[in-house]
Amino acid sequence: MAKRFGQEARQLHDTAIGKGRLLALSSARFDLVPNLTLAVVLVAGSATVASGGMTLGELVAFVSLQLMLIWPIESLGWIIANAQEAMTAADRIYEVLDTPPSIVDRPGAVTVAESRGHVRFEKVGFTYPGTDAPVLRRIDLDVRPGETLAIVGATGCGKTSLVSLLPRLYDVTGGRITLDGRDIRDIQLDSLRRLVGMAFEDPTLFSMSVRENLTLGRRETTDDEIYEALRVAQADFVYDLPWGLDTRIGEQGLSLSGGQRQRLALARAVIGHPRVLVLDDPLSALDVHTEALVEEALARVLHGTTALLVVHRPSTVALADRVALLDGGEIAAIGTHSELLETVPAYRAALSAEALGVPDDVVSR
């Protein structure tokens, strides 16, 4: 793998150097041709003026016109030179736009406006497309309406993959997931994702205003709902931005810090009071003080809401009614925090590793 990477890197380096040389040569030629032409005009024009064939004013007017045309013609040359690169980039964009979505509504999928929030994983298995090794195997979970279930486990054990299945970011490859007894694949995607709010550790934000990012897919959201969601996520900083909620934040929120991006994503998840919440460690980039404030507000939001929390910090476990320990893609144990802490050594080790900052793969050895 390292050898292949080195070969590809060398090829990329050589291609970039060749491109730079070609651009430098093209630039020199683009500048040379009009300047040579100008020199020829000046020499020939001077001789013509000296012989009385034209006046000096006519020569000056002609040279001025030529100087005005040099830049547009030179720009046309650059456009032609870069056209191939632009066409290649356009092909890549259209390749993405023309790719049919792999997650679509089943024939006969129904709209569900209301839900009790009863979530069940029944013998769920999952393998990523293009791979053979299963990430999840025989997952059985019953999350009762209004219950908060924390998912704990070592890095790479499948926690994020598990919670990504509920909003159908991926489809299960074995078993099924039900919401109020109905297979989620029989619910229209738009309807399902209105019922399920999501916030992930690495949030996706768009080059739009704060308001537009918060209300994606929920145009009917009121200012009061936005204010409440921002209060829960401790994201009041948006009101200090130059244009408040109408401030554009750049692609992936490049003008914001990591913690600010996570808080905006959390606010977006809780807006509209979804019946089910999926939170994949959305507090990892927050300082201890802000995390405590967010957890206090989340505790009120989670009351009466079904929630799946991927937990990487021991302090977040306190928000959960029950905890599931995921190990090697399977549920190793499930129970309350105190029960697992008392009876499951692997659970104690996982929490200790998180508290001390020890890499999870060290614990799992």
- Sheet containing 136-143: give its strands across: 136-143, 119-126, 174-179, 182-183
Digit-coded pLDDT (tens) for 306-335: 999 998 777 788 888 999 999 989 999 999
pLDDT at 353: 60
pLDDT at 360: 44
Digit-coded pLDDT (tens) for 15-72: 889 888 877 887 777 777 778 888 888 888 888 888 888 888 888 888 888 888 877 8
Q: How confident is the model at residue 182 (pLDDT cuts 50, 70, 90)?
A: very high
pLDDT at 354: 58
CA 198, CA 203: separation in Å to the nearest integer?
10
CA 19, CA 25: separation in Å to the nearest integer?
10
The answer on pLDDT for 124 being more than 90 is yes
- The mean per-residue pLDDT over the stretch 168-190 comes to 95
Express as a percent the part of the chain with pLDDT over 70.
96
User: Rounded to the nearest 5°, which phi and psi values hold at 209?
Assistant: -75, 165
Amino acid at 262: Q
Of 116 and 290, more confident: 116
Identify the weakest region by mean pLDDT among 31-35, 166-170, 194-198, 256-260. Answer: 31-35
Contact 302, 242 (CB under 8 A): no
Q: How confident is the model at residue 359 (pLDDT cuts 50, 70, 90)?
A: very low
Q: How confident is the model at residue 102 (pLDDT cuts 50, 70, 90)?
A: confident
Q: How confident is the model at residue 362 (pLDDT cuts 50, 70, 90)?
A: very low
- Look up tokens 């201890």; give the residue: 288
Of 232 and 84, more confident: 232
Whether CATH 3.40.50.300 fits 119-363: yes
